Amino acid sequence: MNRLQTLEAAGQAVWLDFIDRKFMAEGGLKKLVEEDGLTGVTSNPSIFEKAMGHGDAYDAQLKAEVEGDPRTVEGTYEALAIKDIQDACDTLRPVYDRLDAKDGYVSMEVSPYLAMETETTLAAAKRLWGEVNRPNLMIKIPGTDPGVPAIHDAIEAGVNINVTLLFSLDAYKKVLEAYISGLEARVAKGEAIDRIASVASFFVSRIDGMIDKKIDALGTDEAKAIRGKVAIANAKLAYQHYLEVSGSARWRALAEKGAQPQRLLWASTGTKDKAYSDVLYVETLIGRDTVNTMPPATMDAFRDHGETSNSLVADIDDAEKVLATAEKLGLDLDGVTAQLVKDGVKSFADAADALYGAIAAKRGKLLEGKLDTIQADLPADLDANVKDAIEKARSEGWARKLWAHDASMWTGGDEGKWLGWLPAAEGKQVDIAALQSLTQEAKKYKDVVLLGMGGSSLGPEVMGLILGGGSPRLHALDSTDPGQVATVADSIDPANTLFIVSSKSGSTMEPELLRAYFFARCEQAVGEGKAGGRFVAVTDPGSKLEAAAKKDGFAHIFYGDPTIGGRYSVLSVFGMVPSAAIGIDVAGFFDVVKVMTHSVGPDAPPAANPGFELGAIIGAAAVAGRDKLTLVPSPSLKPFGSWLEQLIAESTGKQGKGIVPVDLEPLGEPADYGDDRLFVHLHLDGDEMSADHAKLDALQASGQPIVTIKLAKKEDIGQEFVRWEVATAVAGAIIGIDPFDQPDVEDAKIQTRELIGEYEKSGSLKPETAFFKDNDFAFYAPAKIEGGDAAAILKAHLSTANAGDYFGFLAYIERNEAHEAAIEAMRVDVRDAKTIATVAGFGPRFLHSTGQAYKGGPKEGIFLTITREPSQDIAIPGNRASFGTVQLAQARGDMDVLASRGQRVLRVHLKDEKSGPEALARALEAATKA
C-alpha cells in the first residue's frame, strides 16, 4: 500500500485535480487508477485553459470540428472538453462499477460566465449531462446564491453535482440543504435516489492566501500564530456540520432509501505558499466520507512523504479557537470568503476568456478561406489604445453583454431593445421556404424595382450589385430626383416588373410617394385593380404600409422585426426579400454568413472576435481623432461602402461625436492626408488593384493606420454585414453613444414636411433669396459669403477648413455615372488643396444614411449643397408637389438643420441641369487652385 492508498483506508477518496489529453493518451490517468487507487477527476476552466490553450494536443480534433459544420467558439471548446471528460469517465468506469456508483466520478464545470445566473446554469448543467452521457459524470455548479436553486433542481432532475467555489460555512449549509431537498423532491415523485452523487467542494488554500496577507499586515505574534491555520479550521468546522446533518433523522430517512451522502471535497489543496509543507492541505484534512482532489504535484508529494491520520476530527477546539482569534483580530473571514467567491468567479471567467481566446484564434486560422480575415497595421499609439479598449471590453464581458442585450455596455438606455439583428445574423428572422417560393415566383418578371430608403434600400442594393445574377434585374430606387425616377420608369415595363415597397416604419415619405407613382403607372399598364398582384411590401407589423398593401391587394407582405433598426436590417426580410426576388440563394448565403456569426458570439473574447477586433479599432481611432474611416474597396466590393456608411454614420454620429465614413474618395499620396484618417481596405481575392496597393504601402510607411479585410469569394460579403454590425455597436460603446438611435434625422424630416405642407397649401415653397447670382448659379447661405464670383465664394467657404475638418458634397441631382465622376473630381481637388477628408452623398438618399452624422456628429463639416432646376419634373398622384419640388424642399430642410447644428453650409443652385455640374467643377477647380 503506498501512502496515497492509506488515505482510502482512512475513508478519504483521492481524486486528481487535472485533465489533459496527452496525459490521458499516454496512459497517465489509467496508471493512477490502477497503481494509486485514484477514484475521481476534477476539471475547471483554468485546468482546461492549461491543457487546451497551449501546445498542439487538441489540434487534430479542432481541425475536424472546424472542417465540419463550424460551431461557435464555446461549442468548439465543449466538443474538445467533452471528449476528454468522456475518456476520463470511461477510464474511471471500472471504479464506478466496482463501487456501485459510490465513487469513480469525473467533474466538468458549466460555463463560469453563468455563475451568477440560475436558469442558464441549470440549462447548461442538463445539456452537458445529456451530451457527455456518462453515469459517472458530475456537473460542477458554483455554490453562489444563484447557483443554489440550480443545484436543487439539477439534483431533482437526477444530475450528479459537484458544487464548486465553496469557501464559507454559510454557503455550504445552503448547498447541503439544496442537495437534501433535491433528493426529497425526487422521493416525493417516486424517483430513485441511490445512484445520485454529489460533492461539496471547499476551496481551502485560497482562504489562507487572502487571510495570510491580512495576518502579515498586522504582523503581531497573536496574528502570526494562526498563519496557515484559518482555512483548515474553517474546513474542519464545515465537516462538523456535515457530521451533524448526517446524524439527523431527516438524513437517515433518505439514507434508508439509498441516498448517498454529499461528501465534502477538499479542493484548492495545492500549497501556494512555499513556507508551508507541500502536503499541508492533505495531511490536515483526512476523514471519513471525504474527497481530496489534488493537483499532480501535491499527489506526487503525498505519495512520497505524506502522513495519514484521522486529522479532520482532531483538535476541533483548536480550530474553533483559531477562528475566534481571527474574528478578534478583525480578519473578517465572512468578508474574505465573500470576496473569494467573487474573485473565484472572475478568475474562472478570465481563464475561460484566455481559453476561448486561444481556441477562437486557432479556429480562425483553420477557417481561412471560409472566414474573412482581418489584419491591422497601426501606429504604436493607436495600437496601445486599441489594446486598452479590447482589454476593457474583455474584463467587462462586452461580448456576452451584447448577446445578452445588456445595455450597460452603452449608455444604459434602451439599447438592449434594438438587438434583433443578432438572431437575424443566424438567419432566424427570415422564412427560407417563403423566400425560395418568392424566387420561383419572381422568375416570371424581367425587372424588380425596390422602393425604399436607407437601410431598406442600401443592403439589397449591395446584395444585388455584388451577388445578383442579372435576372430579374434589380433597380433600387431611393430618390425623389425626377431624373432618377424617370430613368427607372423608362427602363422597365410595369407589366413585367415586380415592385417591392420596403419601409420598416411604413411611413417614410419617399417610398410612399414612389409607391403612389409606380402603382398608378402599373395600373395604367395592366388595368385597374390588377396592379396589386405585382407588388410586395416589406414592413414592420402594424405599419401604414401594411394597411395600404392590404387595401391594394399586394401579392405578399413580409414582416420585419421591430427590434431591428433600419440600418441593421440587411440580414432580415429587408435585405433578403429583394435578394430572393432577384434569384440569390438565401439559404446558401446564410451558410456562409453563419461562419462569421458564430465567430463574433458571446463566447469569442474581444481579442479573438472579428467584430470586436474591428470595433475596438474604429472606436479607439475615432476617440483619438482618427474619425474619418476611409474605405478602400477592391473593384468588386465597391458597392459595399454605401451600405457601410449608413450603418456607421447613422449609428455613431451624434452628440458631436462619432465616425465620418469616407467612401469612394480616390486613394492619394501620403501628403494628401492629415492625421484624422483610418484606412480600411476590403479586398476580394482575385481583384486587381496593384496601383492602390502600392499607395496603401506608402501610406502605411508614412504612419497611417491601415486595416485590411480579405474575402476569399464574393459570397463572403455576407460575413462583412455581421462583422461591421458588431463592430459598429462596439465602436458606439467605446465612443460613448447609443448606436441604435438617430436623433438628428427626424429634424430634417420635420423641416421638409413643413416646407412641403406649405407648398401643398400655397402652391409654392417658402421664398428664399440668393446672396449671389450669375449665369450659371445662385448661391444661398445662412449668412452672405463674400466674393465677386462663384470661384471666390467657393474659395471663401473652403478657407474655413482646418486640419481634421471634412468637406461634404450634398448633391440633390440624379445619381448617374457622369455626376459621380464630376463629384469625384471635385473631391480630389478639395482634398489635395486642403488636406482634409471629403465625403459625398446624393440627396435625398444620403439623408437616410450619412445625414445623421453630418448633422449630429463631429462639428467638423463644411458642406456644399447642390440643387438644380430640373429639366423635366414628374407629378405625384394625389399630391400637389412634384418630385422635383419635394427634392428641393428636402435639400432646403436639410441645409437648415445642418446650419442649426453649427456646421458650415453653402448651397449652390445650378441653373442648367446639364451644363451645371461641369461649370461647378470648373469654379471649384479655380477656387482650389487660386
Ligand X SMILES: O=P(O)(O)OC[C@H]1O[C@](O)(CO)[C@@H](O)[C@@H]1O
Interface residues with ligand E4P (CB under 6 A)?
A: 17, 42, 44, 46, 164, 201, 203, 205-206, 267-268, 270, 293
- Among 914, 903, 910, 867, smallest CA distance to 886 is for 867
544 binds ligand X (CB under 6 A): no
* Stretch near ligand X under the rule CB under 6 A, chosen from 37-45, 159-167, 505-513, 514-522: 505-513
Q: By C-alpha distance, which of 589, 798, 678 is closest to 378? A: 678
Residue 102: which of ligand E4P, ligand X, none does it interact with, CB under 5 to 8 A by kind? none
To ligand E4P, the closest distance from the beta carbon of 43 in angstroms equals: 8
Shortest Cβ distance from residue 46 to ligand E4P (Å)?
A: 6
By C-alpha distance, which of 557, 585, 589 is closest to 573? 557
**Residue 107 Cβ, how far from ligand E4P at the closest point, in Å?**
6
Pick from ligand E4P, ligand X, none: which does 568 bind, CB < 5 to 8 A by kind?
none
Question: Three-class SS string for 627-667?
Answer: CEEEEEECHHHCCHHHHHHHHHHHHHCECCECCEEECCCCC
700 φ, ψ (degrees, to nearest 5): -65, -45
- The β-bridge relationship of strands 556-559 and 161-166 is unpaired
Query: Rounded to the nearest whole angstrom, what is the least distance from the CB of residue 892 to ligand X in the complex?
Result: 17
Tell me the C-alpha distance between 478 and 578, whole Å. 14
From the list ligand E4P, ligand X, none, pick the one residue 293 interacts with, judged by a Cβ distance below 5 to 8 Å according to partner type: ligand E4P
Smaller CB separation from ligand X, 296 or 562: 562
- Are 522 and 534 in contact by the 8 Å Cβ rule? The answer is yes
Question: What residue type is 302 in one-letter code?
Answer: F
Contact between residue 502 and residue 535 where contact means Cβ atoms under 8 Å apart: no
Answer for which of 102, 140, 303, 567 binds ligand X (CB under 6 A) is 567
Residue 453 makes contact with ligand X by CB under 6 A? yes
Does the protein bind ligand X through residue 503 (CB under 6 A)? yes
Active site residue 834: no
**Is position 454 an interface residue for ligand X (rule: CB under 6 A)?**
yes
In degrees and rounded to multiples of 5, residue 863 shows phi and psi of: -115, 145
Is 111 one of the binding residues for ligand X (CB under 6 A)? no
CB 608, min distance to ligand E4P, A:
24
Among 505, 835, 879, 900, binds ligand X (CB under 6 A): 505
Q: Which is nearer to ligand E4P, 84 or 805 (CB)?
A: 84
Q: If DSSP codes are grouped into helix, strand and coil, which group holds residue 24?
A: helix
Q: List the single partner that 633 binds among ligand E4P, ligand X, none, CB under 5 to 8 Å by kind.
A: none
**Is residue 508 near ligand X by the rule CB under 6 A?**
yes
Q: What 3-state class would DSSP assign to 910?
A: strand
Residue of 22, 30, 126, 140 marked active site: 140
Q: Which of residues 662-691 bind ligand X (CB under 6 A)?
A: none
Q: Which is nearer to ligand X, 126 or 848 (CB)?
A: 848
Rounded CA separation 225/244 (Å): 29
Q: Mask of contacts with ligand X, 602-641, x by CB under 6 A?
A: ----------------------------------------
| Pairing mode of beta strands 628-633, 556-559 | unpaired
CB 642 within 8 A of CB 594: no
Residue 455 contacts which entry, ligand X, ligand E4P, none (Cβ below 5-8 A, type-dependent) = ligand X
**d(Cα 349, Cα 45) in Å, to the nearest integer?**
8
Shortest distance, CB of residue 173 to ligand E4P, whole angstroms?
20
CA 704-706-712 angle, 5° bins: 160
Contact between 843 and ligand X by CB under 6 A: the answer reads no
Question: Least distance from C-beta 841 to ligand X, angstroms?
Answer: 13
Alpha-carbon distance of 159 to 572, in angstroms, equals: 39
Distance CA 612, CA 601 (A): 10
Pick the closest to residue 650 from 898, 855, 415, 403 (CA basis). Answer: 855
Closer residue to ligand E4P in complex, CB, 163/785: 163
484: left (phi over 0), alpha (psi -120 to 50) or beta: alpha
Asked if 577 contacts 536 with a C-beta cutoff of 8 angstroms, the reply is yes
Q: How far apart are CA 301 and CA 316, in angstroms?
A: 26
CA quadruple 125, 126, 127, 130: dihedral, nearest 10: 120
Entry field: residues in the chain: 930
DSSP state of 214: H
567 binds, among ligand E4P, ligand X, none (CB under 5 to 8 A by kind): ligand X
CB of 313 to ligand E4P, least distance (A): 23
* x-or-dash string of contact with ligand X, 730-759, rule CB under 6 A: ------------x--x--------------
Tell me if 259 sits within 8 A of 183, measured CB to CB. yes
Alpha-carbon gap, residue 11 to 286, rounded angstroms: 8
Nearest distance in Å: CB 282, ligand E4P: 12
Q: Nearest residue by C-beta to ligand E4P?
A: 268
Cβ proximity to ligand E4P: between 155 and 294 the closer is 294
Of ligand E4P, ligand X, none, which one does residue 456 interact with (CB within 5 to 8 Å by kind)?
ligand X
Q: Which does 206 bind (CB under 5 to 8 A by kind): ligand E4P, ligand X, none?
A: ligand E4P
Closest contact distance (angstroms) between CB of 908 and ligand X is 24
**CB-nearest residue to ligand X:** 566
Of the candidate spans 27-35, 374-382, 502-510, 581-589, the one that interacts with ligand X by CB under 6 A turns out to be 502-510
The DSSP code for 239 is: H
> What is residue 506's DSSP assignment?
S
Determine the size of the site formed for ligand X (CB under 6 A): 15
- Binder of residue 268, out of ligand X, ligand E4P, none (CB less than 5 to 8 A by kind): ligand E4P
Please say which residue, 537 or 840, places its beta carbon nearer to ligand X. 537
Shortest approach of ligand E4P to residue 339 CB, angstroms?
14
- 433 forms bridges with which residues in the sheet? none
Nearer to ligand E4P, 149 or 295 (CB): 295
Q: Please give the distance of CA 690 from its chain centroid, rounded to a whole number.
A: 33
- Three-class SS string for 765-819? CCCCCCCEECCCEEEECCCCCCCCCHHHHHHHHHCCCCCCCEEEEEECCCCCHHH
Site for ligand X contains 206 (CB under 6 A): no
Per CB under 6 A, residues contacting ligand X are: 453-456, 503-505, 508, 511, 566-567, 650, 742, 745, 848
Q: Which are the catalytic amino acids?
A: 140
